[in-house]
Amino acid sequence: MTDPFDQHLSRDNTSSVKFDARHGVFGREDVIPVWIADMDFAAPEAVTRALSERAAHPAYGYTLFPDSLYQSIIDWFRERHGWDIQRDWILMAPGVVPSLHAACMAYAAPGEGVIVQPPVYPPFFSSVRLSGRFVIENPLVCDAAGHYRMDLAHLEACAAHPDAKLLMLCSPHNPVGRIWSEQELEAVLDIARRHDLVIISDEIHCDLTFADKPRHRMLATLARPSDALVTAIAPSKSFNIPGLGLSALVIPDKLRRDAIKEVFDSLHLPQCNPFSTAGFEAGYRSGAPWLDDLMVYVQKNRDFVVETVNARLPGIQTQAPEGTYLMWLDCRNLGLDDAALKRFFVEDAHVGMNPGISFGEQGSGFMRLNIGCPRAVLAEVLTRIESALLASRGINHQ
């Protein structure tokens, strides 16, 4: 029987950023797009059914967040992550990226500092800078084997900066794929307590973990009631519905919850969407079997990429991520600067990935590969890269 995740799903001409923006982003249409973080798989049937049923009612007016939506969050995180969330801790939000911006505005004044841990998802930088705050970098440390860890001593020094007010944690980490250990998370909480830092923990990838790697631990399950912690969650990555544009913040402390709500209210956000609420709830209510099957498939994709890259692509190395469907390719041994590296993949290999430099200067020489696609697509991507590498060395690939 054919695995449903092996089936090709055409996304061309659906206004897909990943596919239909190829010319604008890469300057050509013939690249295979394995960049932006959504997957090329059909969403769970339960999600599609919920959207169809809602569309069948022909009135699409202003919409409330139903109680059942909040309960779906509570049930999912209790059953999946062992986290007991109270209903009044939940603040619905128009996406995790807007939530990062709102957190900067709520918890740091203009001119104050926000700690980020590069290489990291680009909106961590832009949300700070566009809101008039300044970035304090606490770079991750990468060892010779390609394994990343936090530099906790340096984080302590960053937190001691008199203007440091907020720490943005990416957990699991995008793009390096780390699932932070309980010891690392406890250390982060201790540092935040000592220096009165608010933490916003972006845990949008929390469900995308592999059976052969450590379990993801929600930071909130280690926190004390008095900790200044905001957790950003969403079903968008878990069930491949990021275009529905709905997330949630879990904030036990009322004053901090009110502070970020005030930011949303000042912008008249979020405006509830009848389709986003239907898809959101359906994912958390009925998407678990699909998600479990997905991660089995993506794990096989991950292992295929690791084996192929390290065996057949000279000058490129990668490690198996502990979480996410994103892989971090170390291309530094190719000896190319970042502009030349992008040109090589786009112009020679005809593959569209995210340049590592966009994740901070610590990403220089890396590329981010999205493996949330049929394995045949990955096979073609890697074959194209191999052929381009051989051609650059004057070797014909038979």
Report whether pLDDT(398) > 60.
no
Per-chain mean pLDDT for the chain: 96
pLDDT of residue 250: 98
Going by the DSSP 8-state scheme, the letter that residue 42 receives in this structure is P
- For 359, the 3-state DSSP assignment is helix
Instruction: Tell me the residue length of the chain.
Output: 398
User: Residue 68 is encoded by which pair of tokens?
Assistant: 């059942």
For tokens 């290999």, the residue is 349
- For 197, the 3-state DSSP assignment is coil
Amino acid identity for residue 19 in this structure: F
Is 192:380 a contact under the CB 8 Å cutoff? no
Residues near 16 by Cβ (< 8 Å), separated by ≥ 6? Answer: none
Domains, the chain, ordered by start: 4-44+288-391 (3.90.1150.10), 59-285 (3.40.640.10)
Q: Which region among 143-152, 176-185, 217-226, 262-271 has the lowest average model confidence (pLDDT)?
A: 262-271
Angle between helices 288-312 and 375-392 (to 10 degrees): 20
**Bridge partners (DSSP) listed for residue 64:** none
Sign of CA dihedral 6, 7, 12, 16: negative
How far is it, in rounded angstroms, from Cα 306 to Cα 8?
A: 23
**Whole-prediction pTM value?**
0.96
Q: State what percent of residues in the chain have pLDDT above 70.
A: 99
Confidence of residue 1 (pLDDT cuts 50, 70, 90): low
Report whether pLDDT(366) > 70.
yes
The arithmetic mean of pLDDT across residues 295-310, rounded, is 98
pLDDT tens column, 195-228: 999 999 999 999 999 999 999 999 999 999 999 9
Continuous segment of H or E residues that includes residue 186: helix 182-195
pLDDT tens column, 138-159: 999 999 889 999 999 999 999 9
Using a 10 angstrom Cβ sphere, with 0-12 exposed, 13-18 middle and 19 or more buried, the burial of residue 243 is: middle
Confidence of residue 397 (pLDDT cuts 50, 70, 90): low
